[in-house]
Amino acid sequence: MKLKVLEGHLGEISGFTKPKVEYEQYETPSHIAAVALYTMQTQFEALESKLVLDAGCGPGMLSCGASLLGAGTVTAVDIDGESLDILKENIEFTEVDNIDIIQCNFLCPEMYRCENYFDTVVMNPPFGTKNNAGIDMKFLKMGLDLSCDSVYSLHKSTTRSHIQKRIKEWGVKGSVIAELRYNLKSSFKFHKQHSKDIAVDLWRLHHS
Protein backbone atom coordinates (compact mmCIF):
# COMPACT_ATOMS: atom_id res chain seq x y z
CA MET A 1 0.00 0.00 0.00
CA LYS A 2 1.29 3.45 -0.92
CA LEU A 3 1.88 6.00 1.82
CA LYS A 4 -0.68 8.38 0.33
CA VAL A 5 -3.33 5.67 0.24
CA LEU A 6 -2.60 4.69 3.84
CA GLU A 7 -2.82 8.31 4.92
CA GLY A 8 -6.11 8.63 3.06
CA HIS A 9 -7.61 5.69 4.95
CA LEU A 10 -6.33 6.92 8.29
CA GLY A 11 -7.72 10.37 7.58
CA GLU A 12 -11.20 8.83 7.73
CA ILE A 13 -10.74 7.40 11.20
CA SER A 14 -12.77 9.00 13.98
CA GLY A 15 -10.91 10.35 16.98
CA PHE A 16 -11.89 10.58 20.63
CA THR A 17 -15.36 12.05 21.02
CA LYS A 18 -14.98 13.10 24.65
CA PRO A 19 -11.26 12.97 25.41
CA LYS A 20 -10.52 12.20 29.05
CA VAL A 21 -7.76 14.33 30.53
CA GLU A 22 -6.71 11.74 33.10
CA TYR A 23 -5.87 9.24 30.37
CA GLU A 24 -4.23 11.81 28.09
CA GLN A 25 -6.47 11.05 25.19
CA TYR A 26 -5.33 12.75 22.03
CA GLU A 27 -5.07 10.74 18.87
CA THR A 28 -2.01 10.54 16.69
CA PRO A 29 -2.73 12.74 13.65
CA SER A 30 -3.32 10.59 10.58
CA HIS A 31 -0.34 12.03 8.75
CA ILE A 32 2.06 11.21 11.58
CA ALA A 33 0.56 7.76 12.07
CA ALA A 34 0.87 7.00 8.37
CA VAL A 35 4.50 8.11 8.13
CA ALA A 36 5.41 6.28 11.35
CA LEU A 37 3.79 2.99 10.32
CA TYR A 38 5.09 3.23 6.78
CA THR A 39 8.62 3.73 8.11
CA MET A 40 8.29 0.69 10.42
CA GLN A 41 7.23 -1.50 7.54
CA THR A 42 9.49 -0.26 4.73
CA GLN A 43 12.66 0.10 6.79
CA PHE A 44 12.25 -2.71 9.31
CA GLU A 45 9.53 -5.03 8.00
CA ALA A 46 7.93 -4.70 11.41
CA LEU A 47 4.27 -5.10 10.49
CA GLU A 48 3.54 -7.42 7.59
CA SER A 49 2.64 -10.90 8.90
CA LYS A 50 3.70 -9.89 12.39
CA LEU A 51 2.05 -10.31 15.77
CA VAL A 52 1.48 -6.68 16.70
CA LEU A 53 0.39 -5.07 19.98
CA ASP A 54 -0.99 -1.51 20.11
CA ALA A 55 -0.60 -0.32 23.71
CA GLY A 56 -3.09 2.40 24.66
CA CYS A 57 -4.80 2.08 21.31
CA GLY A 58 -7.54 4.66 21.83
CA PRO A 59 -9.76 4.90 18.73
CA GLY A 60 -7.15 2.88 16.88
CA MET A 61 -5.21 5.07 14.50
CA LEU A 62 -2.15 2.84 14.88
CA SER A 63 -4.08 -0.44 15.09
CA CYS A 64 -6.01 0.21 11.88
CA GLY A 65 -2.91 1.44 10.09
CA ALA A 66 -0.89 -1.61 11.14
CA SER A 67 -3.67 -3.87 9.95
CA LEU A 68 -3.90 -2.04 6.62
CA LEU A 69 -0.15 -2.60 6.18
CA GLY A 70 -0.64 -6.35 6.49
CA ALA A 71 -0.12 -7.20 10.16
CA GLY A 72 -0.84 -10.86 10.99
CA THR A 73 -2.99 -9.77 13.91
CA VAL A 74 -3.14 -6.62 15.99
CA THR A 75 -3.99 -6.84 19.68
CA ALA A 76 -5.39 -3.47 20.70
CA VAL A 77 -5.51 -2.65 24.41
CA ASP A 78 -6.83 0.40 26.19
CA ILE A 79 -8.10 1.15 29.68
CA ASP A 80 -11.05 3.18 28.42
CA GLY A 81 -14.15 1.43 27.14
CA GLU A 82 -15.59 4.43 25.33
CA SER A 83 -12.50 4.71 23.14
CA LEU A 84 -12.77 1.03 22.36
CA ASP A 85 -16.36 1.52 21.16
CA ILE A 86 -15.04 4.11 18.71
CA LEU A 87 -12.30 1.69 17.70
CA LYS A 88 -14.98 -0.90 16.88
CA GLU A 89 -16.67 1.57 14.57
CA ASN A 90 -13.36 2.48 12.97
CA ILE A 91 -12.61 -1.20 12.39
CA GLU A 92 -15.91 -1.69 10.62
CA PHE A 93 -15.46 1.45 8.61
CA THR A 94 -11.90 0.62 7.57
CA GLU A 95 -12.95 -2.97 6.77
CA VAL A 96 -10.03 -4.58 8.53
CA ASP A 97 -10.68 -7.94 10.13
CA ASN A 98 -7.79 -8.96 12.31
CA ILE A 99 -7.80 -6.55 15.23
CA ASP A 100 -8.41 -8.13 18.60
CA ILE A 101 -9.57 -5.73 21.31
CA ILE A 102 -9.03 -6.05 25.06
CA GLN A 103 -10.00 -3.55 27.70
CA CYS A 104 -7.34 -3.57 30.40
CA ASN A 105 -4.72 -1.58 32.21
CA PHE A 106 -1.56 -1.96 30.17
CA LEU A 107 0.56 -1.44 33.28
CA CYS A 108 -1.03 -4.15 35.42
CA PRO A 109 1.26 -7.06 36.34
CA GLU A 110 -1.02 -9.55 34.59
CA MET A 111 0.29 -8.22 31.29
CA TYR A 112 3.51 -10.14 31.94
CA ARG A 113 1.64 -13.25 30.92
CA CYS A 114 2.30 -12.02 27.38
CA GLU A 115 6.03 -11.64 28.03
CA ASN A 116 8.07 -11.79 24.80
CA TYR A 117 4.93 -12.76 22.89
CA PHE A 118 4.57 -9.96 20.35
CA ASP A 119 6.90 -9.34 17.43
CA THR A 120 6.17 -5.64 17.35
CA VAL A 121 4.71 -3.30 19.93
CA VAL A 122 3.51 0.12 18.74
CA MET A 123 2.41 2.96 20.98
CA ASN A 124 1.80 6.63 21.38
CA PRO A 125 1.97 6.52 25.16
CA PRO A 126 0.56 9.07 27.56
CA PHE A 127 3.33 11.66 27.95
CA GLY A 128 2.84 11.79 31.69
CA THR A 129 1.67 14.84 33.59
CA LYS A 130 2.09 16.06 37.15
CA ASN A 131 -0.06 13.29 38.56
CA ASN A 132 1.42 10.39 36.68
CA ALA A 133 4.96 11.47 35.88
CA GLY A 134 6.97 8.74 34.22
CA ILE A 135 4.03 6.83 32.77
CA ASP A 136 5.60 7.12 29.29
CA MET A 137 8.67 5.23 30.53
CA LYS A 138 6.49 2.61 32.19
CA PHE A 139 4.68 2.06 28.90
CA LEU A 140 7.98 1.77 27.08
CA LYS A 141 9.39 -0.73 29.55
CA MET A 142 6.25 -2.84 29.49
CA GLY A 143 6.33 -2.74 25.69
CA LEU A 144 9.88 -4.07 25.76
CA ASP A 145 8.96 -6.83 28.18
CA LEU A 146 6.07 -7.99 26.01
CA SER A 147 7.98 -7.95 22.73
CA CYS A 148 10.44 -10.46 21.36
CA ASP A 149 11.65 -8.04 18.71
CA SER A 150 11.01 -4.31 18.75
CA VAL A 151 8.97 -1.45 20.18
CA TYR A 152 8.03 1.63 18.17
CA SER A 153 6.99 4.60 20.23
CA LEU A 154 6.27 8.31 19.78
CA HIS A 155 7.80 10.76 22.25
CA LYS A 156 8.30 14.49 22.50
CA SER A 157 11.77 15.31 21.23
CA THR A 158 12.47 17.15 24.48
CA THR A 159 12.60 13.77 26.25
CA ARG A 160 15.27 12.39 23.93
CA SER A 161 18.24 12.42 26.28
CA HIS A 162 16.12 11.02 29.10
CA ILE A 163 15.03 8.10 26.94
CA GLN A 164 18.62 7.52 25.85
CA LYS A 165 19.58 7.20 29.51
CA ARG A 166 16.81 4.73 30.27
CA ILE A 167 17.66 2.62 27.25
CA LYS A 168 21.18 2.24 28.60
CA GLU A 169 19.88 1.28 32.04
CA TRP A 170 17.58 -1.32 30.53
CA GLY A 171 20.38 -2.77 28.43
CA VAL A 172 18.48 -2.53 25.16
CA LYS A 173 19.28 -0.82 21.90
CA GLY A 174 17.36 2.09 20.51
CA SER A 175 17.42 5.03 18.17
CA VAL A 176 15.20 7.72 16.74
CA ILE A 177 14.17 6.58 13.28
CA ALA A 178 12.06 9.60 12.30
CA GLU A 179 11.57 13.16 13.50
CA LEU A 180 8.03 14.42 13.10
CA ARG A 181 5.96 17.46 13.91
CA TYR A 182 2.84 16.94 15.90
CA ASN A 183 0.10 19.51 15.88
CA LEU A 184 -1.50 19.03 19.27
CA LYS A 185 -4.96 20.49 18.99
CA SER A 186 -6.16 22.32 22.05
CA SER A 187 -8.53 19.54 22.93
CA PHE A 188 -8.32 20.17 26.65
CA LYS A 189 -9.58 23.34 28.25
CA PHE A 190 -6.33 24.07 30.05
CA HIS A 191 -4.40 24.34 26.81
CA LYS A 192 -4.31 28.07 26.33
CA GLN A 193 -3.17 28.33 22.74
CA HIS A 194 -5.41 27.04 19.99
CA SER A 195 -2.78 24.74 18.69
CA LYS A 196 0.93 24.40 18.79
CA ASP A 197 3.51 22.39 16.98
CA ILE A 198 5.44 19.87 19.00
CA ALA A 199 8.52 18.07 17.72
CA VAL A 200 8.07 14.34 18.13
CA ASP A 201 10.50 11.44 17.75
CA LEU A 202 9.63 8.00 16.49
CA TRP A 203 11.79 5.64 18.53
CA ARG A 204 12.69 2.09 17.72
CA LEU A 205 13.82 0.04 20.70
CA HIS A 206 14.95 -3.52 20.38
CA HIS A 207 16.49 -6.28 22.43
CA SER A 208 20.17 -6.65 21.81
Partner 1 sequence: MLTSKCLRGVVTGYPLAINATIINITEVDYNPEFITRIIPKLDWEVLWRAADSIGHSDGLPQTIEPKFEENNEFLKKVHRVLLEVDIEEGNLVCPESGRRFPISKGIPNMLLTEAEVQ
Ligand X SMILES: C[S@@+](CC[C@H](N)C(=O)[O-])C[C@H]1O[C@@H](n2cnc3c(N)ncnc32)[C@H](O)[C@@H]1O
Binding residues (CB under 6 A) for ligand X: these are 23-28, 56-58, 61-62, 77-80, 83, 105-107, 124, 126
Asked if 14 touches partner 1 (CB under 8 A), the answer is no
**Cβ contacts of residue 130 below 8 Å, gap of 6+?**
none
In whole angstroms, the minimum distance from the beta carbon of 147 to partner 1 comes to: 12
| Residue 2: Cβ within 10 Å count | 8
What's the CA gap between 159 and 60, in Å, rounded?
24
Short-list 142, 136, 11, 101, CA closest to 65: 11
**Cβ contacts of residue 67 below 8 Å, gap of 6+?**
74, 94, 96, 97, 98, 99
Q: Of these, 105, 164, 183, 186, which contacts partner 1 (CB under 8 A)?
A: 105
Q: Select the residue whose beta carbon is closest to ligand X and give its number.
A: 56
Residue with smaller CB distance to ligand X, 134 or 168:
134
What's the CA gap between 71 and 47, in Å, rounded?
5
Q: What backbone phi and psi angles, to 5 degrees, belong to 115?
A: -55, 130
In whole angstroms, the minimum distance from the beta carbon of 101 to ligand X comes to: 12
Distances, alpha carbon 8 to alpha carbons 5, 11, 15, 71, 200, in Å = 5, 5, 15, 18, 21
Q: Which does 126 bind (CB under 5 to 8 A by kind): partner 1, ligand X, none?
A: ligand X
Region label for 92, one of left (φ > 0), alpha (ψ between -120 and 50) or beta (otherwise): alpha
Stretch that binds partner 1, among 23-31, 104-112, 165-173, 177-185 (CB under 8 A): 104-112
In whole angstroms, the minimum distance from the beta carbon of 159 to partner 1 comes to: 28
Within 170-199, the residues that bind partner 1 by CB under 8 A are: none
Stretch that binds partner 1, among 3-11, 34-42, 98-106, 196-204 (CB under 8 A): 98-106
Within 46-65, the residues that bind partner 1 by CB under 8 A are: 49-51
Give the footprint of partner 1 on this chain (CB under 8 A). Answer: 49-51, 72-73, 75, 79, 81, 84-85, 88, 97-98, 100-105, 108, 110-111, 113-114, 117
